[in-house]
Each structure stands twice: as C-alpha cells, then as structure tokens.
Structure 1
Amino acid sequence: MRSRVWSGTAAVVLGGLLATGCGGGEKDTPDESAGKTAVSGDDPVSVTDCSGARTTFSGVPERIVTSNASSLELLLRLGVGDKVIGTGFPPGEGSLPGALDAEARKVKVLSESVIPKEKLLGSGADLYIDTFAHMNMGGGMGDAPTEEEFEAAGIKHMYLKSTACAAQRETPVTDLSAVEADITSLGQVTGTSAKAEELVAGMREKTDAVRKAVGGTAESARPTYFFFDYDAGTKQPTVVCNRQVANAVITLAGARNVFADCDGDFQQVGWEDVIAENPDWIQLGVRDRGGAAANEKAFDEAERWLKANAATKGLTAVREGRFLRIGSEHTTIAGVENADTVEEIARTLYPGEVG
C-alpha cells in the first residue's frame, strides 16, 4: 500500500474503545508467570504494565473493579464474576450471551463511562483491571489515578495490554496472541488458569480453521476491508491502524485492512483517503445500544449515512451493498469474541469456504 500523510491525530476516548498507550513496547507473550495455575503466598504471580513495571500478586484478589464490559466479560467467562464489585462502561442488557448476561446485571455500575477517580479509589477494590491505560479523562471526570494513589488505596492495577498498550507496539499485530496473553494473565491472577487455557484453546481452534480455509489465497487476491467507526463521528473518519486488535481480526479473516500502513492503534484520516482506497467491503462498526432492535437501528443509520453522503456513496462497497453488521466491541477490544468475529468476517468474504 502506498505511503500516506495522515490528517489529524489519534482520537481520545471513543466511547470506551480507544485507548492511549502508557509507554514502552509490548510483546505478544504472557508474563513470566505463564504456566502457574493459581496464586498463593508460596507461588506469587507477576504481571507487567505497558512500560514493563511489575505488579506481584501473592493471593487471589477478592474485590475486583473492571474498567469496562470487555474485562468484565472475561472475568465472567473465567468464572470469577462473584468477585467483581463494580464496573465502568457496563455491557448493554442482552449484549452478553446466555447466563453471562444475567451475571453481568448483578455487577454494580460505578459509571456508565469512565469511572471517576474518587469513586474508583474509594470503591474498596483490591484490583482494578484497566482496558484503557493512562489517559486524560474527558467530561469533567478528573484525571486517572496515579500508581501512587492506587497503592495508597490498596488497589493493584492490571492492564489488558492488547488494547491498553496497542499504540506502543513495536510491530503490526496480525494475530490474537496479545489477547490470548491477556486471558492467560487474568487466569493466573485469579487462580483460574485451567479455564483460561480452555478459552484460549477455543479461540485458536476457530482461527486455525479459518486460516486453513483461506490461507491459500494470495495476499493480492484478498478483499480489501474498511472498518467504519460510525460512533466516532462522520465528519472525519477514525480508522483502525496496524497495532489495533481489529487489524489482527481483519487479517486472520483473510482480508486486507485498507489502513494497515498506519502505525498505531487508531488514527483520524480524511474521507479522500477512504475514497482513494475504495474498499471491497465495509464493516458498519457501531457500539452496543443495549438490545437487538436498537443495534439494528444503529446499523441502518450507519448504512444510510454511507449511501447518502456525497463522499462515500460512490464507493464500490456502498454501491454494491457489501456491508458487514458486526459490533465494534467484538472487533476492537480484547475478548473471546474476537475469534468469533474472525469467523463471521471470513464466512461473508469467502462463502462456502469457511465452515
């Protein structure tokens, strides 16, 4: 892909999905504690943040606060939902599958968006799981707590590095190893390594099957793909770059992210950049609205906008109706559903080839 002069800078917090890094590069491997099955006083587990600073756990956390639905869902899948005492950015009702939804409803909502600093520090948590990393919080909610403030409040601070550290990656991300490492680390810290291994194995089974089905397709023959972040605003599109989880999802599905030459996680571009790429397929990336009907309405709005806008209505994907209706959360933030999204995209782009 040709080089491009990027217009604008990375957006700040896009409804809880866009995260700025906290410094330093991150490798897509679990922390040194990999292989340990539980936390105990005799067998502590250590995890690192984006800059490599280490946090050590000598016991299983009992009062966990999560920054958003992503980390909450992972804890529910690991079977430790009873230890979660609060969350920010809660999942919409019905957005989680089966029994997970009922469990999520029991968790106290500390904020519908970013948890205010004072509320977080006074929550009584002994662990805060952070999907975002350090950032300047908008909306008058104050700054994020410092590590010294977390320590004074008795709260250990752990990151989902696949998203929190994405902007600081040294190389493009083309697989889900960083997400798998997050799940592995969460399992180690919460004493649920066996369940974490099961979740990771399930993800790999799906992505390996897709890779086997589409792996023979030459790079030049793979369809081009644009993730349209409708909720980030339409005046100037915000795109996913090659350090973002979505780039891995798109690549594994056998497609080519049209903005894979952008080094970082998210970036703002001009519509002229999208027009120049003329993608074969467009994902209507909207965030969960709290129900199937509301979500479909949002997808309809995004599609209508592309069809009505003078800058986009002539795109091949728009003219031919090549849209995928897949929620942003399952594509851009860490979760087991990343593998499901790989399957869903591949089935659409390669009908009959992916089971």
Structure 2
Amino acid sequence: MRCQLPFLKKVFPSRLTLATGLALACALLAACSQRQETPPDQAAVSVAPVTVPVCGQPVSYDRVPQRAVTHGINITEMFLALGLADRLVGYGGLRDIQRLPPAMQAQLARVPDLSNQNMNLETLLNAQPDFVFSGWSYGFRDGQITPQQLQELGIASYVLTESCIRKVARERVSLQDTFDDLLHLGRIFRIDAQAQALVNGQRAELEQIAQALQGMARQPSVFLYDSGTDIPVTAGRYAMPHAMIEAAGGRNIFADLPSSWTRGNWEDVIERNPDWIVIVNNDRPTPDGKKQFLLNKPELAHLTAIRERNFVLLDFAAATPGPRNVAGVRTLAHSLHPERVAAPEPDTSLR
C-alpha cells in the first residue's frame, strides 16, 4: 500500500480544526507505517481476481482480505455466519454484544469494538483493515466514511445490497439480496462452497414457507413500527421488512413509500387500519415500551391490530439483511397464518 496525504482534502472536511486534522493525519501515517511492515504471511493474500457487483457496478478483488472490519449488527452476524471470525480486527454499530446469538458473542470476545455509533476514520485506520463491510446509512455516509475514500486509502470494501437504494435506483428488495451478499462475500474470501451451503439451507427453508402459503385467500395488512412518537419510522418498499412481510403472506401498509427505512405518518396508519403490528426491537425504547405507547395512543384504539392485540416482535438483526431473515419470515408467517406455518424452531446454526 502506498501512503500519501493528498487525499486528506477529500476525506477531512474543511470545517475540521487544524489540531483534529493533524491528529487524523498522524493516525493515518502510523497505520500506513505499520501496514508496510506487516510480514507477507499476514498481509492480504494475492490470488486470481474475482469480480462481484456492488450497487450495480462490477468491483474486482485481487486479494483475499485478512484484516476485516464490519459495521452494523446484521452485517457482523452475516460475516460470522460465514465462519470469518478469524478475519475480524474490529466491528462497530453494536450497542450491546448480548444482542448476538451466544456463539457469536464468544467469537467477538477477542475483537475490538471500534465504535458503537457512526464509523470513526481515525479509529478505523488504527485497526489497519484491508477490508470494510458495511452499508449506506449503516456505517457508510457521505461526508464521513465512503467506499471511495477507503479505495483511495488502498482499503477494499463491500456495500450491503439492500442499502444501495440510497445511491442507485432499484426495482425491488427481496430475500435474494441477502443471499447475494452471502454469496458475494463467499467469492471475495474464496469460501464459495461454505457460502453456497449456508444459502442453500436458507433457500430451502424459504421455499418450504412459500409452499405452505400457496392458495391463501387473504393477505393480512401489516404496519412495521421501528420508532418515533410524533412521526413513526417504518419500512417502505425498499426495506428488507417489506420483502419479509410479503414472503410471510402479508401486505405492508406502507408499500407505496418509495424508500427504505423511512418516516410514515399516523394518519395513514389510522386510515389503513393494519391487522398486525410488527415491533422492531432496537432497544430504543424497549419492545414493551413501544407496545405500551401504541396501546395508550387514543387515536389508534380502533385499529384491528390494537383491539386484537396482534403484535409480532422482530429483532433489529432479523429485520435488516442478515442470516436471521428467513427465521424472521417464519416468525411473521406463523403469526399471520398459524394454521399453515409452524412456529420457528431455535436456529442452532447461529448458536
């Protein structure tokens, strides 16, 4: 890797103080120096290049990454589900490691937590990564850290497919997006067979659910509630929960919103009268706190979901692209169609 400073004008906004800029520059130079001294057997391994699509554009990877950083709980889970824990030198976006399946908690015990909020460039560079896996609005953000800036630093990256709607037009989101991400990571890390086996198992489970739901007479309407009191944060048609609701035999009441995770409004929730409410558990506040807020909101009292107490809880890591998506679909399908779909069994593959 060649370490140069001209890119700093692009990476560091002009509003940064001189002291902050100098501190970040020193961190970069220290990281570069250490990386240049890394023994060949610990550096990224050169192999025949592979090319995978990233947000609709072909990206070539001519090395097997050895020092990876992930940002986002679902993104970290995806990485660990592929057996790549030994490649991690840092992770971020996890407020509480206890939110992970037990086996994954153990795998992360030795890995530094780089940030529990947004990515921080100085901390990231100090970890000396050769690969970063995140998504737009998960960790990548204009004006902060972007794949282009990492490329200028000689650091490879991969962008979560679902998040690409923030940058490029897409026709739809589907569970295939998650499968593609797993397979693309398999190619990048040259563990294709392992990735394919994981995807095959999840596809088989999804197909079983689809067969059980064939011939449904009705699709219950579903409102996904993530957060917000004055204005509800929900899932538009480009967010993974939209695809999950459809796969579970339901209908997203905000399918008309041409966005991913976005703001809805209470007036439309009231008018569209959902049969079910999916509460996303992201600890902001607790799921029970969200449920009580909805039950105590007077204008929602007549809603079918409120009157019949039709609530489904989905963990944030299940509602965003990752290895828990198919299990999340089964949870939804069992709630919406208990006569057709059995309750999910514990996923021992993630434990």
TM bin, normalised by shorter chain, reads: 0.7 to 0.9
Letter in 2 for 1:223: P
Contact kept, 8 Å, 1:64 with 1:128, in 2: the verdict is yes
User: Could you tell me how far apart the structure 1 residues matched to 2:209 and 2:323 are?
Assistant: 15
Give 1:125 deviation, angstroms: 0.3
Q: Gapped runs of 5+ residues in structure 2?
A: 1-43, 343-351
User: Could you tell me how far apart the structure 1 residues matched to 2:257 and 2:127 are?
Assistant: 39
Aligned to 1:222: 219
Closer, same or farther: CA 354–257 of 1 in aligned 2, 3 Å: same
Letter in 2 for 1:204: R
Letter in 1 for 2:222: Y
Closer, same or farther: CA 135–197 of 1 in aligned 2, 3 Å: closer
Structure 1 residues 1-355: aligned runs within 5 Å: 41=46, 43-50=48-55, 52=57, 54-90=58-94, 92-132=96-136, 143-147=143-147, 149-165=149-165, 168-173=168-173, 175-218=174-217, 221-230=218-227, 233-288=228-283, 298-331=286-319, 333-355=320-342
- Give the number of the structure whose residues are more often strand, by fraction: 2
Give the TM-score taking structure 1 as reference length. Answer: 0.78
User: Could you tell me how far apart the structure 2 residues matched to 1:134 and 1:306 are?
Assistant: 27
Letter in 2 for 1:178: D
Closer, same or farther: CA 72–265 of 1 in aligned 2, 3 Å: same
Deviations 1:200-240 (A, max 9, x none): 1121111111110112114xx1100010112xx21101221
Give the TM-score taking structure 2 as reference length. Answer: 0.79
How many residues were matched structurally? 299
What SS does the aligned partner of 1:282 have? strand
User: Could you tell me how far apart the structure 1 residues matched to 2:279 and 2:148 are?
Assistant: 41
Higher relative contact order (CA 8 A, sep 6+): 1
Contact kept, 8 Å, 2:133 with 2:160, in 1: the verdict is yes
Deviations 1:169-221 (A, max 9, x none): 43233x31111100000111112111111111121111111110112114xx1
User: Could you tell me how far apart the structure 1 residues matched to 2:109 and 2:283 are?
Assistant: 15
User: Could you tell me how far apart the structure 2 residues matched to 1:157 and 1:133 are?
Assistant: 15
What SS does the aligned partner of 1:110 have? strand
User: Could you tell me how far apart the structure 1 residues matched to 2:140 and 2:86 are?
Assistant: 31
CA root-mean-square deviation: 2.3
Closer, same or farther: CA 134–51 of 1 in aligned 2, 3 Å: farther
User: Could you tell me how far apart the structure 1 residues matched to 2:219 and 2:148 are?
Assistant: 49
- Give the number of the structure whose residues are more often helix, by fraction: 2
Closer, same or farther: CA 166–341 of 1 in aligned 2, 3 Å: farther
Contact kept, 8 Å, 2:67 with 2:131, in 1: the verdict is yes
Closer, same or farther: CA 157–136 of 1 in aligned 2, 3 Å: closer
Letter in 1 for 2:48: D
User: Could you tell me how far apart the structure 2 residues matched to 1:119 and 1:171 are?
Assistant: 36
Give 1:312 deviation, angstroms: 1.8
Closer, same or farther: CA 102–152 of 1 in aligned 2, 3 Å: same
Aligned to 2:16: none
Deviations 1:148-187 (A, max 9, x none): 53234321121111234367443233x3111110000011
Give 1:94 deviation, angstroms: 3.0
Closer, same or farther: CA 268–310 of 1 in aligned 2, 3 Å: same
User: Could you tell me how far apart the structure 2 residues matched to 1:167 and 1:258 are?
Assistant: 25
Aligned to 1:29: none
Letter in 2 for 1:92: D
